Amino acid sequence: MRIAHNDVALKNAVTTASAEAQAAFGDPSVYIEKFVENARHIEFQILGDTQGHIITLGERECTIQRRHQKLIEETPSTALTSSLRSKMAKAAIRAARAINYSNAGTAEFLLGKDGQFYFIEFNARIQVEHTVTEEVTNLDLVKEQFRIASGEALGYSYVRPEGCAIEARVNAEDPDHNFTPCPGVIKRLHLPGGPGIRVDTHVFSGYTVPRYYDSLLAKVISWGRDRNEAINRLAGALDEFTTEGVKNTAKFCAQVLRSDRFRRGDLSMDMVDSFVSRSK
């Protein structure tokens, strides 16, 4: 992905991207999209059954990213008013209804500073960050997928989220060196716990982190009666997360969570870059 602010930059970007596409995929095709400056990444969780019932379970804020990959997700978003939330939810449902969608799915948008939002994609699957929706709705979304697949009706038309939930992805990466992957053996693993804390993971002490796949080690999720409580709980849990022998992003995520900017809800996709540059 490249940003072009003028005709010359656009020509160079298309030429370079086309050459890369040809070399990597044997297809030089590229496409151009509007660049939304200082955008926020907002997505809506969809559930649709085979009887035509489609609802949203609220939004997830996925703006905190590194290399265009999500790192911290939360619900609700601090960027949405009730009116904007309603508009985006209706757009998400409209997209799902247009394809007669049944399953759990996610409609993803970019939100500009001017309140305009733009459709990115529709993910026809469960998302990594579905956990934060589960925490505020008390629904098991994987179970709901099985119910839908077996032909059952949803049985509800509205679910009211309660509280705030935040997820941090703990990756086997070195934040001090541009999030370089860190494969190796986890000599000792310590997972956090406590009120309002959930950890989803597949790793264990002695586990070998391979170099061939996604670097995700675990998801640490907090729930709080309000956003501040959720932040404090998650930051404290991440302090405890230990993978001796393999570097991880837990402490970095805790640093982001505790920052004044995050607490204010003043988020943008360049936020991680600003933390990295300050630490150098």
What is the model's pLDDT at position 152?
97
pLDDT greater than 60 at residue 128: yes
pLDDT greater than 70 at residue 142: yes
The Cα–Cα gap between 77 and 82 comes to 11
The Cα–Cα gap between 97 and 146 comes to 20
What is the model's pLDDT at position 1?
86
What is the model's pLDDT at position 67?
85
- Helix (H, G, I), strand (E, B), or coil: what is residue 259? coil
Given phi > 0 = left and psi -120 to 50 = alpha, else beta, which region is 194? left
pLDDT greater than 70 at residue 278: no
Confidence of residue 201 (pLDDT cuts 50, 70, 90): very high
As annotated, the active-site residues are 125
Domains of the chain, with CATH numbers?
A: 40-65+76-149 (3.30.470.20), 164-279 (3.30.470.20)
The identity of residue 78, as a single letter, is: T
The answer to whether the bond into 183 is cis (omega within 30° of 0) is no
Confidence of residue 228 (pLDDT cuts 50, 70, 90): very high
Confidence of residue 279 (pLDDT cuts 50, 70, 90): low
The Cα–Cα gap between 99 and 215 comes to 33
pLDDT greater than 80 at residue 146: yes
Residue range 71-98: average pLDDT?
97
Q: Could you tell me the CA-to-CA distances from 190 to 54, 183, 216, 250 in Å, in that order? A: 40, 18, 16, 12
In tens, the pLDDT along 241-271 reads 999 999 999 999 999 999 999 999 999 988 8
DSSP 196: T
